[in-house]
């Protein structure tokens, strides 16, 4: 079940935490000021014992009541100053630190939206979510306390030790004695702690995944009565987490015990020594009180270092987890003229580009060729004259000419980026031309790669080789924004977002669509049922709204695809969840839309296929036949099998 990639290398906690700097930078002044204030406040606390010493040795011993009043007043002032400084520190960082957390979360969100779909296929959303919530909260807490207090405590200890050494250097050294063993223990255990902490965080992520899946797959769990086994899986995971947390606690307890015991022993030794010195008259009672008071005041800073370091380690692993996502390469924005690096590059493209005019000229020469399969694979040897003529013309001019219109796949191969390079590609040298204004149905056996092929058009996945053109323009040469504005998609799985019905549909348009467009789109998709919803088109749907049936969602998704009157339409089995009446009505309306739209329609059934002008058959990763429905039904056995289910075992 664990879905997190193992941490790649052992990085030092400090170096990892330093990566937070860009986020901390904007608030660095406040954070730094706060730290300085905390140091000052802490030192104020250390001055208090000195005042006490002065009081005990001076006014109290001398029975000087004015001196006592003075001492008490200064104590009061110091105390007030300490309190206000502590408050000031918190006030200074409260807003900035929430801002750092929010900024990091917004960045993560922005980045996730731009990561390739392939990344999302790989990562469980629970793992992403736990990075966006618990990990970031840990980081905020780290910036608020451990970071500041590691500094504050270090300075406090340093100042305290200096004060102690100044008061009595032998006692000071005795107190300092345990420092080295404490540091050694800390370093030893912190490393182990870091590993365990990382495991705990990953386990939380896995747990989140199980929770999420059990919520999203609740119908299946209930349908099969599997809530017990799901609960068992959950229990196992959470028991694993408990084990890790306990291991963490044991490590922490060891560190604490060492940190508590050793300094206490040193203070005890100092007390014994100090008492001897006082008895010998070498030390005043006041100095001893002040000394011990200082030593005791340092106890908390020393004690806390253990858990401060532990929190820092957790923060470091949280940072690591955060940047695992942030370091993933996002999709490029599709800079005009730029091509994705993993494509074959310009030279290969130019060579095959030379074939384009040849192929198109052949079509001209053969008239309205119907069952042809375009492209270099079947590049003709005929018509050399016209071919050379068009080749001599500039490629850019020819690509803008009429025959180049529409949606065209040129030798497109595709293999999932994480697939074994030796495995056969999902799509293998696909050449397909959907002419401008034409609608083409894509038919193929279950799992033949139809959906994958459609995902290449809006560049949800990137072609491994070959290229795709829209009206002659390479899709990698236009910004993704523009590409996706041109191509509207209706997915097989109709996802609605938490928004009103109207907004859900209108998100398919560029933003200049009005209510008229909305109505038209709803009419095409036969989605007039929305007017019967409680608040009409303003009814909230999606995660936080009304739940709609599969057929209703599919019709809204269809309306979303057609609302912007896109030039290119990609429909992935758009009618699968519709009932028979609605299907017929949608088909009739959709035909009008398709009349002047270039469309690629994945189809499973004859009724859907009939929406299209022509059909392409996808088989074994290749386009094996193109033609009208009736032609293919007559001439192609595989097609006939797919459409009617007859002639069992003829193919495959």
Positions in 438-457 near another protein (CB under 8 A): 444-447, 450-451, 455
Binding residue (CB under 8 A) for another protein from 5, 22, 181, 217: 217
Among 29, 102, 183, 371, binds another protein (CB under 8 A): 102
Distance CA 67, CA 50 (A): 14
State the minimum distance, in angstroms, from the CB of residue 518 to another protein: 15
Measure the N-to-C terminal CA separation of the chain; round to a whole number of Å: 34
Separation in Å, CA 137 to CA 97, 102, 144: 10, 10, 11
Please check whether residue 110 is in contact with residue 326, taking contact to mean a CB–CB distance below 8 angstroms. Answer: no
300-319 residues near another protein, rule: CB under 8 A: 300
| DSSP one-letter string for 499-518 | EEHHHHHHTTS-S---HHHH
Establish if 614 lies at the interface with another protein (CB under 8 A): no
Q: Shortest gap between Cβ of 362 and another protein (angstroms)? A: 32
Contact region for another protein (CB under 8 A) — 73-81, 373-381, 389-397, 469-477? Answer: 73-81
Interface with another protein in residues 320-349 (CB under 8 A): none
Helical (H) or strand (E) element with 285: helix 285-297
Nearer to another protein, 94 or 393 (CB): 94
Size of the site for another protein (CB under 8 A): 184
Query: Which uninterrupted H or E stretch holds 443?
Result: strand 439-444
Residue 613 engages another protein in binding (rule: CB under 8 A): no
Which of 77, 270, 289, 288 has the alpha carbon at shortest distance from 177?
270
Selected binder of another protein within 112, 308, 427, 530 (CB under 8 A) = 112
Q: Which of 35, 147, 289, 475 binds another protein (CB under 8 A)?
A: 289
CB environment 322-342: b (16+ within 10 A), e (fewer)? bebbbebeebeebeeeebeee
Please select the residue that binds another protein; options are 18, 25, 65, 592, rule is CB under 8 A: 65
Tokens of 77: 């002032």
- Comparison of 336 and 345: residue with beta carbon closer to another protein: 336
- If one counts every other C-beta atom within 10 angstroms of the C-beta of residue 560, the result is 25
Least Å distance between CB 647 and another protein? Answer: 10
Is the distance from CB of 46 to CB of 290 less than 8 angstroms? no
For another protein, the binding residue among 18, 29, 94, 588 (CB under 8 A) is: 94
Quick one: 19 or 247, whose CB is closer to another protein? 247
Site string for another protein, 375-414 (x = CB under 8 A): ----------------------------------------
* Other CB atoms within 10 A of residue 413 CB: 17
The answer to whether residue 272 forms part of the interface with another protein (CB under 8 A) is: yes
Q: Does 420 interact with another protein (rule: CB under 8 A)? A: yes
Q: Provide the 8-state DSSP code for 546.
A: B
Span of 168-176, 210-218, 399-407, 434-442 interacting with another protein by CB under 8 A: 210-218
Which ranges of 327-403 does DSSP label H, i.e. alpha helix?
346-353, 355-365, 384-392, 395-400
CA pair distance 160, 177, nearest whole angstrom: 15
Q: Find the part of the chain contacting another protein (CB under 8 A) among 74-82, 374-382, 516-524, 592-600.
A: 74-82
Residues facing residue 431 across a β-bridge: none
For residue 384, how many other CB atoms are within 10 A of its CB?
11
CB of 411 to another protein, least distance (A): 23
Interactions with another protein, residue window 543-582 (CB under 8 A) = 543-544, 547, 549-552, 557, 560, 573, 576-582
- C-beta of 140 vs 429, nearer to another protein: 140
Residues 6+ apart with CB under 8 A from 649: none
- Residue 69 touching another protein (CB under 8 A): yes
**Spatial separation of the C-alpha atoms in residues 174 and 265, rounded to whole Å:** 10
Binding of another protein at residue 422 (CB under 8 A)? no
The two tokens of residue 62 are: 């001398």
Where in 151-190 is the site for another protein (CB under 8 A)?
A: none
- Cβ 637 to another protein shortest distance, Å: 12
Which parts of 500-529 interact with another protein (CB under 8 A)?
Answer: 507-508, 529
> Using the rule CB under 8 A, which residue among 11, 19, 50, 120 binds another protein?
120
Q: Rounded to the nearest whole angstrom, what is the least distance from the CB of residue 287 to another protein in the complex?
A: 11
* Site membership for another protein, residue 114 (CB under 8 A): yes
Q: Does 6 bind another protein (CB under 8 A)?
A: no
Shortest Cβ 435–another protein spacing (Å): 23
Per DSSP, the three-state class of 359 is helix
Does the protein bind another protein through residue 261 (CB under 8 A)? yes
Q: What is the largest CA-CA distance in the chain?
A: 121
* Residue 27 CB contacts under 8 Å (≥ 6 apart), including other chains: 93, 96, 97, 99, 100
β-sheet bridge partners, residue 617: 443, 625
- Taking CB under 8 A as the binding criterion, the range among 22-30, 96-104, 188-196, 376-384 that sits at the site for another protein is 96-104
Please state whether beta strands 568-572 and 465-470 pair in parallel, antiparallel, or not at all (unpaired).
unpaired
């Amino acid at each position: 079940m664990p879905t997190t990639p193992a941490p790649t290398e052992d990085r030092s906690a400090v170096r990892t935490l330093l990566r937070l700097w860009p986020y901390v930078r904007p608030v660095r002044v406040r954070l730094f000021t706060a730290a300085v204030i905390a140091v000052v406040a802490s030192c104020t606390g250390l001055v208090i014992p000195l005042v006490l010493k002065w009081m005990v040795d001076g006014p109290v011993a001398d029975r000087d009541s004015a001196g006592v009043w003075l001492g008490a007043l200064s104590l009061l002032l110091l105390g007030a100053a300490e309190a206000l400084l502590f408050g000031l520190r918190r006030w200074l960082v409260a807003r900035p630190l929430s801002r750092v957390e929010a900024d990091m979360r917004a960045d993560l969100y922005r980045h996730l939206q731009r990561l390739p779909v392939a990344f999302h296929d790989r990562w469980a959303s629970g793992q992403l979510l736990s990075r966006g919530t618990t990990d970031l909260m840990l980081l905020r807490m780290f910036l608020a306390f451990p970071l500041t207090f590691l500094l504050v405590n270090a300075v406090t200890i340093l100042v305290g030790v200096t004060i102690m050494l100044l008061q009595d250097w032998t006692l000071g050294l005795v107190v300092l004695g345990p420092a080295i063993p404490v540091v050694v223990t800390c370093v030893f255990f912190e490393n182990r702690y870091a590993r365990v902490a990382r495991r705990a965080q990953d386990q939380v992520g896995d747990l989140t995944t199980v929770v999420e899946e059990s919520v999203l797959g609740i119908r299946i769990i209930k349908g099969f009565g599997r809530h017990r086994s799901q609960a068992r899986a959950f229990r196992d995971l959470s028991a694993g987490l408990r084990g890790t947390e306990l291991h963490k606690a044991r490590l922490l307890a060891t560190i604490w015990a060492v940190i508590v015991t050793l300094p206490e022993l040193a203070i005890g030794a100092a007390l014994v020594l100090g008492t001897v010195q006082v008895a010998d008259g070498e030390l005043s009672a006041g100095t001893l009180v002040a000394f011990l008071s200082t030593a005791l005041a340092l106890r908390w800073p020393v004690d806390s270092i253990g858990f401060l370091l532990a929190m820092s380690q957790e923060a470091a692993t949280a940072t690591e987890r955060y940047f695992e996502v942030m370091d993933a390469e996002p999709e490029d924005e599709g800079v005009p003229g730029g091509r994705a690096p993993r494509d074959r590059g310009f030279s290969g493209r130019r060579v095959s580009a030379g074939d384009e005019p040849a192929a198109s000229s052949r079509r001209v020469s053969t008239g309205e060729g119907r069952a042809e399969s375009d492209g270099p694979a079947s590049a003709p040897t005929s018509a050399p004259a016209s071919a050379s003529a068009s080749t001599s013309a500039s490629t850019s001019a020819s690509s803008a000419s009429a025959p180049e219109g529409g949606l065209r796949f040129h030798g497109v191969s595709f293999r999932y980026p994480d697939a074994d390079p030796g495995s056969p590609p999902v799509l293998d040298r696909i050449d397909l031309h959907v002419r401008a204004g034409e609608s083409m149905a894509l038919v193929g056996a279950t799992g033949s790669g139809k959906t994958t092929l459609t995902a290449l058009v809006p560049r949800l996945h990137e072609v491994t080789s070959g290229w795709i053109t829209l009206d002659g323009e390479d899709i990698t040469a236009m910004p993704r924004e523009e590409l996706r504005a041109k191509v509207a998609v209706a997915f097989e799985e109709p996802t609605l977002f938490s928004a009103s019905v109207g907004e859900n549909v209108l998100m398919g348009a560029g933003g200049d669509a009005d209510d008229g467009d909305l109505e038209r789109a709803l009419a095409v998709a036969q989605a007039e049922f929305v007017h019967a919803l409680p608040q009409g088109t303003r009814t909230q749907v999606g995660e936080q709204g009304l739940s709609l049936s599969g057929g209703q969602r599919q019709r809204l998704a269809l309306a979303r695809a057609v609302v912007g009157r896109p030039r290119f339409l990609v429909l992935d089995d758009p009618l699968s969840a519709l009932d028979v009446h609605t299907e017929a009505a949608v088909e009739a309306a959709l035909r009008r839309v398709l009349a002047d739209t270039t469309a690629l329609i994945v189809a499973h059934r004859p009724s859907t296929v009939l929406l299209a002008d022509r059909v392409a058959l996808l088989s074994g990763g290749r386009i094996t036949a193109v033609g009208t429905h009736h032609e293919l039904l007559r001439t192609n056995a595989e097609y006939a099998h797919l459409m009617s289910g007859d002639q069992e075992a003829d193919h495959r």
